[in-house]
Copies of this chain bind each other. A is one copy, B any other.
Amino acid sequence: MPSQGRTTADRRAAILDAAMALADERGLDAVTMRAVAERVGVTPMALYPHVGDKQALLDGLLGRLLAEIALPDPAAPWRDRLVALAHGLRATGQRHPAVFPLLLARPSVTTGALRVVEAIYAALREAGVPDPQVPRVERLLSTFVIGYLASQANGRFGPGSSAPRQRRTQVPADELPVHHALAPHLDLEVDWDAEFDADLDDMLRMVSAIAARGPAGGPVS
**Proximity bits, A138-152, B CB within 8 Å = 1, else 0:** 011001101110110
Residue A178 at the B interface, CB < 8 A? yes
* Copies, count: 2
Contact B121 A178 (CB under 8 A): yes
Contact B147 A114 (CB under 8 A): no
Interface residues of A in 165-214 (CB under 8 A from B): 167, 170-171, 176-179, 181-182, 184-186, 188-191, 194-195, 198-199, 202-203, 205-206, 209-210
Residues in B with CB closer than 8 Å to A103 are 156
Number of interface residues of A (CB under 8 A): 66
Interface residues of A in 125-157 (CB under 8 A from B): 125, 131-132, 134-136, 139-140, 143-144, 146-148, 150-151, 154-157
Residue A56 at the B interface, CB < 8 A? no
Which residues of A are in contact with B by a Cβ distance under 8 Å? 101, 103-109, 111, 114, 117-118, 121-122, 125, 131-132, 134-136, 139-140, 143-144, 146-148, 150-151, 154-159, 163, 167, 170-171, 176-179, 181-182, 184-186, 188-191, 194-195, 198-199, 202-203, 205-206, 209-210, 217, 219-221
From residue A85, how far is it (CB to closest CB) to chain B in Å? 14
Complex: how many Å from CA A85 to CA B217? 24
Residues in B with CB closer than 8 Å to A190 are 135, 220-221
Residues in B with CB closer than 8 Å to A105 are 101, 150, 154, 156
